[in-house]
Amino acid sequence: MLEFFEVDDSSGTASVYDSHITLSKTLLKYFKDAYRVRLGVDRETNKVYLHTINKDYALSGELNEASLLKVSISKTYARVCSKSAVNYISDIFHFVIEKKKFKRFKAWYDKKKNVIVIDMKGEIA
């Protein structure tokens, strides 16, 4: 049977630095309307969830503003900026990130949940 190669354009990587999380270019399209991000953690499955929030919803007052994380978007990456969020993740998943170092993990977009998922089970090279 003939099979054709197809690029998985919903997968990428998340690099966790001491003060931010950088997502690879392949995940950028899921940030096109993002103004802020909410971060969630599932301790049982060792996953971090990033839910993008558009500007109207972020400013509507329905969400606690303190739970909304800033996101920076460029042509080659999306960056969630929050040292406290990185500290929260590193405490939960028991790792330390030295200054100017990072840990890289698999990440993908979950269409059903409408979130970016970061698999914290194992660092990738």
The total number of residues written for the chain in this structure? 125
Question: How would residue 76 be classed by pLDDT, with cut points 50, 70 and 90?
Answer: very high
- Percentage, residues of the chain above pLDDT 70: 98
Tokens representing 117? 């998922």
pLDDT digits (tens, 9 = 90+) for 92-117: 999 999 998 999 999 999 999 999 99
Provide CB contacts within 8 A for 116, sequence distance 6+: 14, 23, 27, 30, 49, 50, 51, 52, 107, 108, 109, 110
DSSP letter (8 states) at residue 120: T
